[in-house]
Chain A
Amino acid sequence: MSYCVNCGVELAPSERKCPLCDTPVLNPNEDKTIPIIKPYSSHVETVVNNIDRKFLALLCTLLLMIPIFISMLSDVLTVQSITWSLYVLCAGLCVFCIFILPYLFKKPNMYLCIILDTASLLLLQGIIDIRAEYGKFFFGISLPITISLGLLSMVFLMYKNKQKRVLKVIAMFLFELSIFLLVINLTVNNYLNISLIPQWAGFAIVPCVITGIFLLVLDKRNKWIEGIRKRLFI
């Protein structure tokens, strides 16, 4: 048996140094033929430290309510009605839907989140259009662009959930980006009553589509992928 010369405690055979003062154990008379069974397994369990996102999301929601409440209160106190504070309220709702809502649930339904994001954006733009009396801005520009963004996001999400190949997912993203740019171009042209032939969008669509096609072709050539990986790995 070994004792710590510093602390005076007897040390179990499994101790190579005193756990109280780190003094190494040197016992020349120690019987090395007796197998030593350590009192604990050598496997150390690690903890994945998850940030309490839900608590953080709730905290952010409460903080977000402060400017909304203050602006609505000052609006009511000054002009006895809700005027400009409606913008703050709608903008706050957008921020909540886009940035905070997904963190309130352990497994958020992303499709529902996209629908709510699109709805909140439409609401904000609609309120701006009504109050500022821009005319056909909401129905001419905001609505088609926002809805197409929402639809394309949902399609992309559906594709991403089904598709495991990264290159195909990136290709899909590029194709959808092309469609979105096309929609913007056509919508703006329509609103301005000019030709429905896309102009500036072509400069972005062509490289996106070509890159997307290239990625789809590359996806089928594993040798090329390995070659690129070999040369470009960090």
Chain B
Amino acid sequence: MSTQIKQKDWLKLDNAALIYPATQSKRWHALFRLSATLIDTVDPTILQQAANRTVKRFFGFACRLKKGLFWFYLEHIDHPPIIQEDVNNPCVKMDFDENNGYMFRIRYYENRIAVEFFHVLTDGTGGLCFLNTLVAEYLSLKYGETIPRNECILDCDDVPKKSELEDSFPKYARGVLRSRAEANSYRIKGTLDRDYMSVVTGITDIERVKDTAKKYGATITEFLVAVLIKAIDRMQLEERPSRKHHKPIKICVPINLRKYYPSTTLRNFSSYINPGIEPKYGEYPLEDIVRMVKGFMLMEKDERLLNAKFSTNVADGKNIPLRLTPLFIKNMVLRIVYNFVGDRQTSSTISNLGKITLPEPMNKYVTRIDFMLGQLNLNRALIACISYKDTLIINFTRTIKEADVVRYFYTELVKLGIHVKVESNQR
């Protein structure tokens, strides 16, 4: 069986991507951003050449979104992407027409190369692979470096593989389903600044964070989730002093399903869990929050439960009446349903892409890697983390003017003895 794909093909959207085109709006752009900071100023000409080569390798990324009668689909694009200068406010809503049809954009500023992706294309893991490959190509062209390639940095002389375009959700789904119903969570409120996403980057020492998390018997993700819950709890308490009426505080934590299944897809293949607390029962000190988050994640990160969760989505996608419904009705219904359900179940999101290791020829040119989440429909403040070398970068993005939750989060880290250096895009 051929593992390579024909050119000029079209692709169906993967199961997780189905919701994004229908529900994309002024408030929810479904974007995320990855960037790499280099030792030298970026040369846009070389970056364009690197982009042209990289896009040929990532067949599933060189696509435009098209409407069919029943579903959206992806149509391959032949022309190259346009390199753009970076802006002050990242993850602004993407106009696909202005972007030459592409659903990602490559931007540069000073020493930094950034790529912003529409979630229809891929998730954080796939996006990171794209960024690594792009940077590797750039460094090869600029400095003549020979960079060893692997599953995280693809060889652009190779042809795209079928397994990279696979929709892994139906492949690994089993018949057992699980209800997605959960109680609604407390939502962080503030003055909406819809077209401007504020970013506060916290730069910390990863060993210090790891040691502090270890003291609580938790991983870095569990620890940061707990700190964020505490920060949001403080906000809710200030808003409403009586805990009796407090809503649950839950944080959405994406889970990379590639750790559970032998999938090499570059498209979406992740699930999520929502650990949290019920503040109406009383005050939770940090150690108790960590304990609850750790217990919840231990239980929910079980392969069987994760499988049941995404199997439900797959089953919905196979539903015959739903499949036969014309797209314009599906879109309207999905949008209405999402406005009522959507991200009401969580107060915020923490996405941690983990520790990134690059081959030595790249290490000497790359000083920093950042990961950022674009705005969601109702969750106004989000965290994305990534570690590279001995630094943990925490990007706290928000679409409200008030920075209270951000302040509570970082000052909590400082109180725990973690040194935090902050920078922002404030005007």
Contact = CB atoms under 8 A, between A and B. Distances in A.
B109 interface: yes
A228 interface: no
Interface string A3-33: 0000111111011011111100000000000
Nearest to B335: A55
A38 to B, nearest CB: 8
B425 A45 contact: no
A39 B90 CA distance: 12
Interface string B393-427: 00000000001001100110011000111111111
Residue with the highest number of chain B CB atoms closer than 10 Å, among A21, A44, A52:
A44
Nearest to B25: A52
Nearest to A45: B87
Contacts of B92: 45, 47
Interface string A172-206: 00000000000000000000000000000000000
A40 interface: yes
B65 to A, nearest CB: 14
A19 B199 CA distance: 9
Interface residues of A, number: 30
Contacts of A15: 422-424, 426
A40 B420 contact: no
A19 B424 contact: yes
Interface string A32-51: 00000101111111111100
A130 interface: no
Nearest to B37: A39
A19 B422 contact: yes
B426 A20 contact: no
A41 B422 contact: no
A58 interface: yes
> B interface, how many residues as a size bin?
35 or more
Contacts of A9: 202, 410-411, 414, 420-422
Given A11-B422, A21-B403, A44 B89 contact: yes
Contacts of B425: 39-40
Contacts of A43: 85, 87-88
A19 B26 CA distance: 25
Q: Is the interface of A mostly helix, strand, loop or mixed?
A: loop
A183 B198 CA distance: 62
B96 interface: no
Interface string A144-155: 000000000000
Contacts of B43: none
B200 interface: yes
A20 B403 contact: yes
B200 A20 contact: yes
Interface string B302-333: 00000000000000000000000000100110
A41 B419 contact: no
A85 to B, nearest CB: 26
B174 interface: no
Contacts of A59: 332
Interface string B241-271: 0000000000000000000000000000000
B230 to A, nearest CB: 16
A52 B195 CA distance: 17
B196 interface: yes
B427 A44 contact: yes
B325 to A, nearest CB: 14
B86 interface: yes
A12 B196 CA distance: 21
B201 interface: yes
Interface string B85-129: 111111011010000000000000110000000000000000000
Interface in B57-99: 85-90, 92-93, 95
A26 B275 CA distance: 41
A66 to B, nearest CB: 16
B88 A20 contact: no
Contacts of A40: 86-88, 90, 109, 199, 425
Nearest to B92: A45
A203 B423 CA distance: 73
B422 A49 contact: no
A223 to B, nearest CB: 40
B423 A42 contact: no
Given A39-B201, A58-B332, A46 B426 contact: no
Contact of A19 (B95, B196, B403): B403
A59 B331 CA distance: 12
Given A42-B88, A47-B93, A10 B421 contact: yes
Nearest to A59: B332
Contact of A49 (B26, B332, B415, B421): B26
Given A20-B406, A37-B110, A11 B421 contact: yes
B122 to A, nearest CB: 22
A19 B403 CA distance: 8
A22 B423 CA distance: 13
Contact of B196 (A11, A41, A44): A44
A10 B420 contact: yes
Contacts of B89: 44-45
B166 to A, nearest CB: 33
Interface string B198-218: 111110000000000000000
Contact of A20 (B86, B90, B411, B419): B411
Contacts of B411: 7-9, 20
A22 B406 CA distance: 12
A55 B85 CA distance: 33
Nearest to A43: B87
What are the 9 tightest A-B residue pairs by CB atom distance, in nearest-first order? A12-B423, A19-B424, A20-B407, A10-B421, A45-B87, A40-B425, A8-B414, A44-B88, A45-B92
11 contacts: A7-B411, A9-B410, A11-B422, A15-B422, A19-B406, A20-B406, A21-B407, A40-B86, A40-B87, A41-B86, A58-B332
